[in-house]
Amino acid sequence: MSNLDEKEKTGTDFIRARINQDNENGRFDSRVHTRFPPEPNGYLHIGHAKSICLNFGIAKDYNGLCNLRFDDTNPVKEDTEYVDSIQEDVKWLGFQWAGDIHYASDYFDRLYELAEELIKRGKAYVCELNADQIREYRGTLTEPGKESPYRNRSVEENLDLFRRMKAGEFADGQMVLRAKIDMASPNIIMRDPTIYRIRHAHHHKTGDKWNIYPMYDFTHCISDSIEGITHSICTLEFENNRELYDWVLNALDLYHPQQIEFGRLNLTHVMLSKRKLIHLVQNGFVAGWDDPRMPTLSGLRRRGYTPEAIRNFCAKIGVARIADSVVDYNFLEYCVREHLNSITPRLMAVLDPIKVTIENYGENEEEYFDCPLHPEDASYGTRKVPFSRELYIERDDFMENPPKKFHRLYPGNEVRLRYAYFMTCKDVIKDADGNIKELICTIDPASKGGQSPDGRKVKGTIHWVSAKHAKPIEARLYDHLFLMDNPAGEEAENFTDLINKDSLKVVTAYAEPHLATYKVGEKVQFERLAYFCVDYDSTPEKPVFNRTVTLKDSWAKEMKV
């Protein structure tokens, strides 16, 4: 391990430490210019958020710039739907790119010129081995490769063939342009990598202009160079590609940014492979890219996650040069709760109702309580909550034969109805099968507002709604799409066999009337239950709420925070 690696492992943010060092040495004239380079072949996910926060965050911290560049060199998989969603997601996360959006495809002319230049410098050749042969000639980690029989073609012959590749004279796969480096290099990537291939395909931006397309390793470093990027930050899988990144820029005497690698984000219960996410969407395993169970930014947004929570999560997990670390999903939920706790009003809804009849409350009687929308923050204001003889309470707030520590409702016990009255359970009514149908209770009229009339205490406080005033709402209760910690590491014939069949439960819940006034995207806490967000399927007739995250905080409990 080099000294640099040593330091990088121990620093909290080794990337900023390296930028500081570069700035002290006046490298890049002390400029800082990063870029975020997604391939528009899918929607962005929470892993991309880590890279976005890092690249845009660094630009912000150093008064520098960060470009958004679409790495669109593979015409077959790319689509403008993805180009649009990526821009939306970056903005939603709270970042703005410098100037116009860049596309690797904007540089196709320049890349082509530079490929010819490489040929002229005797550093690239047209090779007619097929894909299998190229693989065979490449050698292995322990054995050097073999030189291609086409390796020593003259510059003129290479130029002629390359120009004819461009002109569309050859079929896909018939030949490629390769960099002439070293077939015996210990780094397999350096064994004459392919830099251009023939693809008779329509491109989302350049149309049918090109019959050949540059490969990632040739395109990326040159795009960085053209844009004057200073620090080209990427994930650790590209560590071995750095040698090629440097080789191409040196071979062409181009301005040379510094590539720096960091460990990608892995999360328990989550698959972040775009190929797998596309499969889930295209085969209907989820309702779309923005299904609230998806780890995509559009899915998390629809679920009710906030940009602040995601940015805070990314800041807290930090960056390191460690490849295989896995972050506990509970920690992401902890960050979401922490933010939602600070921005949401609290209201009452019952997800799984049992009916309560209050014997000593008049049949035609009703009243409205003025209740704070946040118990500790008066700035949220108040709302009116109706009360009447028939209520719904949560089924699991009642037990007929409770264990010792159960302080909620059971026969003979008194509890507080939040903001309303003390209430005692008198009787349990069951249907023919023995299922509880209804509870008969009484209230203490002297405890109005939920205040003790005489200093007597109740141990339990439960939420409720007035049955006749309640608004039925659709509540979508989400759980992990994959229950196992490491779904990507699981052996399965097909990874979709691993999907949690109960990852979505849809129930009709009963909400206090004020809940129906919230608009699409707004977030609330259902007291004692969970944070919810109004879904875009919501209508005034049928409000729809997505459960964002429950209140139970297993991460904080474990970590004792």
State the residues that interact with ligand ATP by CB under 6 A. 37-39, 47-48, 50-51, 71, 234-235, 264-265, 272-274
Sheet holding 523-526, edge to edge: 346-347, 523-526, 530-534, 544-550, 471-478, 504-511, 349-350
Which of ligand ATP, Mg ion, none is residue 281 near (CB under 5 to 8 Å by kind)? none
Which of Mg ion, ligand ATP, none is residue 38 near (CB under 5 to 8 Å by kind)? ligand ATP
Minimum CB distance to Mg ion smaller for 39 or for 328: 39
Minimum CB distance to ligand ATP smaller for 305 or for 510: 305
The CB-of-234 to ligand ATP minimum distance in angstroms stands at 5
Minimum CB distance to ligand ATP smaller for 282 or for 379: 282
Residue 402: how many CB atoms within 10 A of its CB? 14
Count of residues of this chain found to bind Mg ion when the rule CB under 5 A is applied = 1
Which of Mg ion, ligand ATP, none is residue 234 near (CB under 5 to 8 Å by kind)? ligand ATP
The CB-of-138 to Mg ion minimum distance in angstroms stands at 21
Within 8 A by CB and 6+ apart from 257, the residues are 221, 224, 225, 229, 230, 231, 232
The CB-of-308 to ligand ATP minimum distance in angstroms stands at 19
Minimum CB distance to Mg ion smaller for 78 or for 106: 78
Which of ligand ATP, Mg ion, none is residue 182 near (CB under 5 to 8 Å by kind)? none
Exposed e or buried b per residue across 332-361, where buried means at least 16 C-beta atoms within 10 angstroms of its C-beta: bbbbbbbbbeeebbbbbbbbebbebbbeeb
Torsion region of 78: left, alpha or beta (phi above 0 gives left; psi -120 to 50 gives alpha): beta
- The residue of the chain with the least Cβ separation from ligand ATP equals 47
Q: From residue 26 to residue 45, what is the string marking binding to Mg ion with x (rule CB under 5 A)?
A: -------------x------
The CB-of-273 to ligand ATP minimum distance in angstroms stands at 5
User: Contact at 8 Å (CB) between 532 and 547?
Assistant: yes
Query: CA-CA distance, 322 to 326, in Å (whole number)?
Result: 10
SS3 sequence of 427-445: EEEECCCCCEEEEEEEEEH
Which of ligand ATP, Mg ion, none is residue 546 near (CB under 5 to 8 Å by kind)? none
Q: Does 235 bind Mg ion (CB under 5 A)?
A: no
Q: From residue 71 to residue 90, what is the string marking binding to Mg ion with x (rule CB under 5 A)?
A: --------------------
Q: How far is CA 444 from the centre of its chain?
A: 49
Minimum CB distance to ligand ATP smaller for 48 or for 389: 48
Which of Mg ion, ligand ATP, none is residue 265 near (CB under 5 to 8 Å by kind)? ligand ATP
Residue 478: how many CB atoms within 10 A of its CB? 19
Q: Cα dist. 306→301, 471, 516 in Å?
A: 6, 27, 21
Minimum CB distance to ligand ATP smaller for 264 or for 514: 264
Q: Letter for the amino acid at 185?
A: S
Which of Mg ion, ligand ATP, none is residue 408 near (CB under 5 to 8 Å by kind)? none
Give 38: exposed, middle or buried? Use CB within 10 Å, 0-12, 13-18, 19+.
buried
The CB-of-192 to ligand ATP minimum distance in angstroms stands at 23
Minimum CB distance to Mg ion smaller for 193 or for 292: 193
Give 85: exposed, middle or buried? Use CB within 10 Å, 0-12, 13-18, 19+.
buried
Minimum CB distance to ligand ATP smaller for 183 or for 234: 234
CA atoms within 13 A on the CB side of 122: 2
The CB-of-39 to ligand ATP minimum distance in angstroms stands at 4
**Helix (H) and strand (E) counts for the chain?**
14, 25
What sections of 95-204 are H helices per DSSP?
Answer: 108-120, 131-138, 155-167
The CB-of-42 to Mg ion minimum distance in angstroms stands at 10
Among all residues, which ones are annotated catalytic? 39, 264, 274
Which of Mg ion, ligand ATP, none is residue 264 near (CB under 5 to 8 Å by kind)? ligand ATP
The CB-of-369 to ligand ATP minimum distance in angstroms stands at 48
Query: CA-CA distance, 241 to 246, in Å (whole number)?
Result: 9
User: Contact at 8 Å (CB) between 153 and 126?
Assistant: yes
Site of interaction with Mg ion (CB under 5 A): 39
